Amino acid sequence: MYQRIALFIAVPMLLLTNCNTTKNSQPPRTPPMVILKLDDLWFEDGLVHPGWVQVVDFLNSLEIKGTIGIVGNSLEEGDSAYFNWIKERHAEGYEIWHHGFCHCRHKEEDIEIREYRGEDLAAQTTSLLKTQQLAEEKLGITLRSFGAPYNSTDEHTASALAEIPDLKVWMYKETDCSTDKFLLPRIAEVNIEYPVHQPDFEQFKAGYEQFKNEPILVIQGHPRSWVEEESRFEEFKRIILFLVEEEVTFVTPYGYYLRE
């Protein structure tokens, strides 16, 4: 009987306590940081692809900084308008990052060789250095972060990257070879695209809810593919607007590395 009375008194007191003080409540959740890992900038038909232009316009309208994965050989072909477009993004705070030199793959006796998977060390080092040097020469930008085409690498890639101390960050490293680079891993469930090239807000949100307590989410997308169907870009916009509502902080790979 006494216990029942005690409970009867205790419950309203608890409620009162919860309403009037923050002492027993959960600390507010810190929203994660988010890197928009946007891949595949090429010089195409004498232009920056319209998919890139619309994504940058949208992000700029919200004062969000994205990142741009540049394919190095585009810097051999591009014109001054192309270089200036990239330099303007860099000045706005976008990170221009190393996304290979040729983004190419070919078959040798039924084995697929990719730019950084299956090539020897010398070829990988040469390819990495070419993009790094072209960015310095044509853009005046020192690239600081790397993400392989197709996210495909092997044991030589880590050794080749070790030859380039200016590159500090490696996104989506998928082997367990040791490296001196700062790693930004992939969380497969949290992506912009499901499957690749198809932004999907609902699937993104489900993955985000599962991993929102992570300190950093690196989410990948391909802006060139989002002009193919209007709905793709609309889904991307929904993802970004949701993240803004969640009050995440948008950061760049190198920016995140520097604050670590």
Q: Which residues bind Zn ion (CB under 5 A)?
A: 39-40, 149
Which one, 32 or 147, has the nearer CB to Zn ion?
147
The DSSP annotation for 112-163 comes to: EEETTBSS-HHHHHHHHHHHHHHIIIII-----EE--GGG---HHHHHHHHT
Question: For residue 176, with 0-12 CB atoms within 10 Å meaning exposed, 13-18 middle and 19 or more buried, which class applies?
Answer: exposed
Q: How far is the CB of 103 from Zn ion (least distance, A)?
A: 6
Q: How far is the CB of 69 from Zn ion (least distance, A)?
A: 6
Q: Give the contacts of 47 (CB within 8 A, at least 6 positions apart).
A: 82
Which one, 81 or 104, has the nearer CB to Zn ion?
104
Q: How far is the CB of 99 from Zn ion (least distance, A)?
A: 6
Bridge partners of 183, per DSSP, are 170
Which one, 124 or 248, has the nearer CB to Zn ion?
124
Q: How far is the CB of 23 from Zn ion (least distance, A)?
A: 51
Which one, 207 or 221, has the nearer CB to Zn ion?
221
Cα R_g (the chain), whole angstroms: 23
Which one, 76 or 209, has the nearer CB to Zn ion?
76
Q: Is the sign of the CA dihedral 92, 96, 102, 106 positive or negative?
A: negative
Long-range Cβ contacts of 205-208 (<8 Å, 24+ apart): 205/239, 205/242, 208/242, 208/243, 208/246
d(CA 97, CA 86): 11
Nearest to 96 by CA among 147, 57, 54, 160: 147
First to last CA, the chain: 58
Taking a C-beta distance cutoff of 8 angstroms, is the pair 134, 143 a contact?
no
Which one, 32 or 226, has the nearer CB to Zn ion?
226
Q: Is the sign of the CA dihedral 17, 19, 20, 21 positive or negative?
A: positive
Q: How far is the CB of 212 from Zn ion (least distance, A)?
A: 27
Q: How far is the CB of 150 from Zn ion (least distance, A)?
A: 7
Q: How far is the CB of 167 from Zn ion (least distance, A)?
A: 17
d(CA 236, CA 225): 11
The residue of the chain with the least Cβ separation from Zn ion equals: 39
Which one, 36 or 248, has the nearer CB to Zn ion?
36
